[in-house]
Amino acid sequence: MARMLGAAALVLLSASSVFAQQGSECGLGKQCPLNKPCCSQYGQCGVGAFCLGGCDPLNSHSLDACVPAPVCNSNDYKFTSLDGVTPNTKYLGDASESNWVSSGTPELHDDAVLLTLSEAGESSSGTLLASTSYVWYGKVSAQMKSSRGQGVVSAFILMSDVKDEIDFEFVGTDLRTAQSNFYFQGITNYDNGENLTVRSSTFDDYHTYEIDWTPTQLTWSVDGATQRTVKRSDTWNTTTNRYHYPQTPSRVMLSLWPAGSPKNGEGTIAWAGGLVNWNAQDPATVGYYYAQVKDVNVECYPTPDGANKKGSKAYIYTAKSGTNDSVAITNDDTVLKSLLGTGTDMDADYPKASTTGTAATAAATSEVATVPGLTGAGPGTNGHPGNDGNDGTTGEIAGDPGSGVSTADEPSSTGIGGFSQGNIAQSVNEAASPKERGLQSSLFAALIAVLGLLVL
């Protein structure tokens, strides 16, 4: 346990160092400008995909810059095909047409999706699947096999747009352990992590990992056996006078990534068991490392007591606190017309270049980042504008470091049911300890952000 927490501390210090060196456009109270109003989970500003899943409302230009998030949808997602998986360069927010948004290279094998990690190519930074619908309390399970080998880490987590997080993580050198963790708004607490025992190899055998998340209690189970329980009542923080408990709508995320890349810090590499060995059995035999996910089951729980319910289609944030009492359920639309859209301009479309004067406008518009890691935009263009606004070519890769939480002042709590946060006199960052302020990003979020730098 102490070893895991020490490694986690080194990882986060390494990630924070990278962020400081590279800088980020938004996060830690720094908000995006009006012309690219949405703050991605990687700390960069843009439009389009920046404003969809993972858009940080607290550090975007305004709360409504982020597109409303699709509400929870109870379902059993079996990966017998990739029909429900859409690349992040094409997804526009319609959760009825896609179940998952991907980056990297997901593959299909034996009725399971493979999350791949290769030495070069599209999956050189790993593969990530994120659910298109959010979960605001519920029971979520994944039947999966982890990857194996030094330097590779598999993950099954819930993460909200304000960095509330609940984790299962698997280090490829320890195939009998699942690491559990949780975070409130990305604030680091080294006491939150705990190792869980798995009865057989996490690589060779399918196991079912389950997160049972209610407004009052959080439970991790492995193969039907409860291994850890955290009560909300035990997470009260006397410094911030609030519960440091995950409490906001979250996406289900599945990933495989190279924590042991030589471009990462020593702490990250040590936690991952060493540098990635590209001559190991899996990359040498099939060309990549891989984790396998056969099934994800989502059971949505009823809307929490005291919730601000104005509809049934989407979640939005109404205040800078980023706590459960700042979430509202509305009937707002969740779908952009194109990757030039934002939450405040859902119908923005790529301009046609067929009339005089519009070519210059199109060229200028194409400079706005629309997909984290890519440049350019336009409907049906794989994230990049074409000469006529309909056909595009591949653009350049750009790194996306960093993420953080708002320093804006927060309103007092409503005190309704489980939504009470106590007497809030100041913001999270203002009241947080120096160590908390210095490391305002979770283990998974920090490392995923570092991955954005690997493509540079």
10-residue block means of pLDDT along the chain (456 residues)? 42 39 77 97 94 98 98 98 96 98 96 97 94 98 98 98 98 98 93 97 98 98 98 96 97 96 92 96 97 98 96 98 97 97 95 52 62 50 34 30 28 34 35 34 44 40
| Nearest alpha carbon to residue 58 among 342, 404, 339, 454 | 404
pLDDT at 23: 55
Distance of alpha carbon 411 from alpha carbon 421, whole angstroms: 11
pLDDT of residue 367: 75
pLDDT at 284: 97
Pairwise CA distance, residues 446 & 429, whole Å: 17
Quote the pLDDT of residue 353.
60
- Helices marked H in 138-286: 266-271, 281-286
pLDDT score at 397: 27
Specify whether 165 is catalytic: yes
> Tokens at residue 9, please?
């501390």
The token duo for 169 is 């993580």
Residues facing residue 138 across a β-bridge: 213, 300
> What is the reported pLDDT for 366?
53
Nearest to 92 by CA among 298, 333, 255: 333
What is the tens place of the pLDDT at every residue in 154-192?
999 999 999 999 999 999 999 999 999 999 999 989 899
Within 8 A by CB and 6+ apart from 286, the residues are: none
User: Which DSSP helix (H) or strand (E) runs through 170?
Assistant: strand 165-171
Residue-level pLDDT at 188: 86
Beta bridge partners of 240: none
Give pLDDT, residue 374.
56
Q: For residue range 203-216, list pLDDT tens digits in order.
A: 999 999 999 999 99
3-state secondary structure of 418: helix
From 165, 210, 410, 436, the catalytic residue: 165
Question: Cα(306)–Cα(1) distance, rounded to whole angstroms?
Answer: 37
Per the residue annotation, which of 25, 97, 122, 169 is the catalytic one? 169
222 - beta bridge partners?
209, 225
C-alpha neighbours within 13 Å on the C-beta side of residue 456: 12
Other CB atoms within 10 Å distance of the CB of residue 420: 16
CA angle, 166 then 239 then 179, to 5°: 20
User: How confident is the model at residue 419, as a pLDDT?
Assistant: 42
Strand partners, 295: 78, 143
Where is 431: in which H helix or E strand? helix 428-431
Catalytic (active site) residue 410: no
What is the enclosing helix (H) or strand (E) of 207?
strand 207-213
Amino acid at 248: T
